Structure 1
Amino acid sequence: MQVLKDSSAYRLALREKIMDTAMQAFIRQGIRAVRMDDIAQQLGISKRTLYEIYEDKEELLLQSIKKYNAQRVATLTEYAAQGHNVIDIVLEAYRLKLAETRMVNPVFFSDIIKYPKVEKYIKNTREYFRDKFVLFVNKGIQEGYFKKSKNLNLIPLLMDAVGDYIMSNQLLQQYPAEELFDSFYLLPLRGLCTEQGIRKLDEAIAKIQ
Structure 2
Amino acid sequence: MKRGATKEEIIRTTQEFISRNGIRAVRVDEIAQTLGISKRTLYEMFTDKNDLIGACLDAMRNEQQQQIVACRKRRGGNPLQKALRLMNQYIENLYKVDHSFLSDLRRKVIFAEHYDEHREFWHKELSLLLDSCRKQELLLPEIDAAAFADQLMGSLLDLRLNGTSREELSLFCRTILRGAATRQGIELIDRRA
Structure 2: runs of 5+ lacking an equivalent: none
- 1:146 aligned counterpart, secondary structure: coil
How far the C-alpha of 1:171 sits from its partner, in A, is 0.8
Which runs of 5 or more residues in structure 1 are unaligned? 1-10
Q: How does 1:49-64 map to 2 (within 5 A)?
A: 49-64=41-56
Q: What is the Cα deviation at residue 147 of structure 1? A: 2.9
1:27 counterpart residue number: 19
Instruction: Determine helix, strand or coil for the equivalent of 2:23.
Output: coil
Distance 1:94 1:200, change over 3 A: same
Q: In structure 2, do the counterparts of structure 1 residues 102 and 123 end up closer, same or farther at CA, with 3 Å as the change threshold?
A: closer
Specify whether residues 101 and 138 from structure 1 end up closer, same or farther in structure 2 by C-alpha distance, changes over 3 A only: closer
RMSD of aligned residue pairs (Cα, Å): 2.8
2:185 equivalent in structure 1: 197
User: How many Å apart are 1:43 and its aligned residue?
Assistant: 1.5
Aligned length: 189
Cα shift readout 1:52-104 (whole Å, capped 9, x = no counterpart) = 22222222222212222222221231232232332332232233333333342
Distance (whole Å) between structure 2 residues aligned to residue 196 and residue 111 of structure 1:
41
For 1:101 and 1:164, locate their aligned partners in 2 and report how far apart those are by CA, in whole Å: 7
**What residue is the counterpart of 2:162 in the other structure?**
171
Matches within 5 A, 1:1-209: 14-84=6-76, 85-127=78-120, 129-149=122-142, 151-163=144-156, 165-166=158-159, 170-172=161-163, 175-183=164-172, 185-204=173-192, 206=193
- Partner amino acid for 1:154? A
Tell me how far apart the structure 1 counterparts of residues 134 and 167 of structure 2 sit (CA, whole Å): 27
- Give yes or no for contact 1:80–1:89 (8 Å, CA) kept in 2: yes
Q: CA separation of 1:79/1:166 partners in 2, compared to 1, >3 Å: closer, same or farther?
A: closer
92 and 158 in structure 1: CA distance in 2 versus 1, 3 angstrom threshold = closer
- TM-score (norm. length: structure 2): 0.79
Rounded to whole Å, the distance in 1 between the matches of 2:155 and 2:99 is: 16
The CA distance in 2 between the partners of 1:49 and 1:198, in whole Å, is: 57
Determine if contact 1:58/1:115 at 8 Å carries over to the other structure: no
State the distance in 1 between where 2:38 and 2:106 align.
29
Letter in 2 for 1:179: E
Does the 8 A contact of 1:76 with 1:89 survive in 2? no
